[in-house]
């Protein structure tokens, strides 16, 4: 007997957009119940995505009339993915209760228009919610969580995507995940918000759950063996296991309001998957559809980078450049890597890089190097890194600036570029440096500053 299906809206819907999906699923014998995850008229600036996740738990009992612990399937649109994921990680056992998770253009890593805010969007759409993105009337804290490279999506990904515990996968201990996104963008008035590599609201590369993480640890911890790996890849098994399925002729709105017959078939067959073999077979068939759609668009990848010092404090003033090297000194910068960068407004140690891999021709790169520049903004302290991993180190003590070049090919092997780049995915990158008093002059000035400050503090 089919499980109940909960249809979870994005933020500006009033229950209308999922009518089509509800009718389709009910016609096929499913009990499909739309759930509004927020009251859009009263959503205030104090409400968070975590709050809405708990409201979703109540809606399962009240609106969907599910018993405590009763298994169900979920079809989510846009920001609904963040709500359900946040609900999943709150308590142990919830991941066994949700059997199939189907994402239609999910905002898994937010949206490039979230940070522009309600005032900017409202000026365009004049308050007509049916024309705007799904979070047009979300509160400030919800918009903060939806911003590119937000701390919310970074922390959530570390719980369910690259953490120690598997939350999605090909067996019955976790939900079977299926993620779709249209390759079209908006027409008409809404064309003004279209950006490359999106369906009008979310990025193709920011939808999928097949996230991985790269750790570049340059801390000078003396207790660590010199031979210990300083570059680590996590979540590599996710790349093939939970791919994004691209769909032609659909955008962020029509994937819900007017789905194609091909998408309907893929979703209804996904709901029937009940084994690891069945899941792998479904992926193999769906990827043929996705590959056809991918041939007509550029291949984008998204990188969310965070820079921290040895104490876990954010490094907010830094820059990362990628390049290839020919001979001893000649270099060629990969300018595509830095063309579209967004720093999270709440913590600028978090940056999102949106890269068009089709323009970069990454598969033909002879090697891969990174140049890392970090500044404290003061001559008293500076950043530094593990010398055995870096070359061409340069320090500007007066500005507290440190820069170095890192041979990623030497660390990861000849296929470093292929390992680093993977189309239609989000890759998390964590960089760790040491924050230290500047050599000699910086130390003496710092000690002198402390000595001069102490009497004043004692007087206070």
DSSP states of 250-263 as a string?
Answer: --TTHHHHS--HHH
Taking Cα atoms as reference points, which of 318, 320, 353 lies closest to residue 339? 353
CA dihedral in degrees (153, 81, 137, 113; nearest 10)? Answer: 50
Percent of the residues in the chain that have a pLDDT greater than 90, as a whole number: 56
What tokens does 425 get? 């995915």
Contacts 24+ apart (CB under 8 A), 192-196: 192/124, 193/113, 193/121, 193/124, 193/133, 195/112, 195/113, 196/298, 196/300, 196/356
What are phi and psi for residue 142, nearest 5 degrees?
-70, -45
CA dihedral in degrees (118, 120, 121, 125; nearest 10)? Answer: 120
pLDDT single digits (tens) 107-126: 999 999 888 765 555 555 54
Delimit the CATH 3.40.50.1820 region(s) of the chain: 5-208+243-294
* pLDDT tens per residue across all 460 residues of the chain: 789 999 998 765 555 678 899 999 999 999 998 887 655 444 677 888 999 899 899 999 998 999 999 999 999 999 999 999 999 999 988 999 999 999 999 999 999 988 876 555 555 554 444 444 565 556 788 889 999 999 999 999 999 999 888 899 888 889 999 999 999 998 776 677 789 999 999 999 999 999 999 999 999 887 877 667 778 887 777 777 889 999 999 999 999 999 999 999 999 999 999 999 999 999 999 999 999 999 999 999 999 999 999 999 999 999 999 999 887 667 899 999 999 999 999 999 999 999 999 998 888 888 888 999 999 998 889 999 887 778 888 888 778 899 999 888 877 665 656 678 999 999 999 999 999 988 755 455 555 555 565 544 444 4
What are phi and psi for residue 178, nearest 5 degrees?
-140, 125
Q: Which residue carries 């965070």 as its tokens? A: 306
Q: In this structure, are residues 201 and 133 in contact, taking their beta carbons and an 8 Å threshold?
A: yes
Instruction: Output the CATH code of domain 5-208+243-294.
Output: 3.40.50.1820
pTM: 0.90
Number of C-beta neighbours around residue 93 at 10 A: 8
Adjacent-strand bridge partners of 179? 103, 244
pLDDT single digits (tens) 259-306: 999 999 999 999 999 999 999 999 999 999 999 999 999 999 999 999
């Amino acid at each position: 007997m089919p499980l109940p299906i909960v249809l979870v809206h994005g933020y500006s819907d009033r229950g209308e957009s999922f009518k089509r999906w509800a009718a389709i699923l009910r016609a096929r014998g499913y009990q499909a119940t739309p759930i509004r995850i927020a009251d859009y008229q009263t959503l205030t600036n104090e409400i968070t995505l975590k709050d809405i996740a708990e409201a979703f738990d109540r809606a399962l009992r009240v609106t969907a009339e599910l018993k405590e612990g009763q298994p169900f399937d979920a079809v989510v649109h846009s920001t609904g993915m963040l709500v359900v994921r946040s609900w999943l990680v709150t308590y142990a056992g919830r991941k066994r209760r949700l059997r199939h998770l189907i994402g239609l253009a999910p905002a898994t890593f937010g949206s490039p228009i979230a940070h522009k805010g309600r005032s900017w969007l409202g000026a365009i759409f004049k308050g007509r919610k049916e024309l705007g993105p799904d979070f047009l009337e979300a509160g400030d804290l919800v918009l903060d969580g939806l911003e590119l490279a937000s701390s919310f999506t970074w922390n959530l990904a570390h719980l369910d995507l690259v953490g120690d515990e598997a939350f999605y996968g090909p067996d019955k201990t976790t939900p079977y995940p299926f993620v779709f996104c249209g390759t079209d963008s908006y027409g008409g008035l809404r064309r003004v918000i279209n950006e490359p590599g999106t369906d009008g609201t979310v990025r193709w590369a920011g939808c999928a759950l097949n996230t991985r993480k790269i750790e570049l640890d340059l801390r000078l911890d003396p207790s660590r063996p010199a031979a210990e790996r300083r570059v680590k890849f996590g979540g590599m098994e996710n790349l093939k296991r939970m791919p994004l399925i691209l769909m032609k002729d659909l955008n962020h709105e029509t994937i819900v309001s007017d789905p194609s017959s091909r998408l309907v078939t893929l979703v209804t067959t996904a709901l029937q998957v009940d084994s690891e073999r069945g899941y792998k077979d479904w992926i193999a068939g769906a990827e043929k559809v996705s590959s056809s759609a991918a041939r007509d668009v550029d291949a984008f990848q998204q990188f969310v980078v965070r820079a921290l010092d040895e104490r876990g404090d954010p490094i907010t003033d830094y820059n990362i450049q990628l390049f290839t090297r020919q001979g001893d000194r000649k270099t060629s910068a990969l300018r595509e890597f830095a063309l579209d960068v967004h720093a999270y407004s709440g913590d600028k140690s978090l940056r999102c890089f949106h890269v068009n891999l089709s323009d970069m021709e990454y598969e033909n790169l002879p090697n891969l190097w990174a140049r890392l520049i970090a500044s404290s903004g003061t001559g008293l302290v500076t950043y530094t890194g593990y010398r055995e991993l870096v070359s061409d180190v340069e320090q500007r003590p007066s500005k507290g600036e440190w820069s170095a070049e890192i041979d990623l090919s030497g660390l990861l092997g000849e296929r470093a570029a292929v390992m680093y780049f993977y189309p239609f995915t989000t890759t998390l990158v964590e960089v760790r440096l040491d924050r230290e008093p500047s050599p000699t002059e910086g130390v003496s000035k710092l000690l002198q500053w402390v000595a001069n400050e102490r009497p004043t503090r004692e007087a206070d």
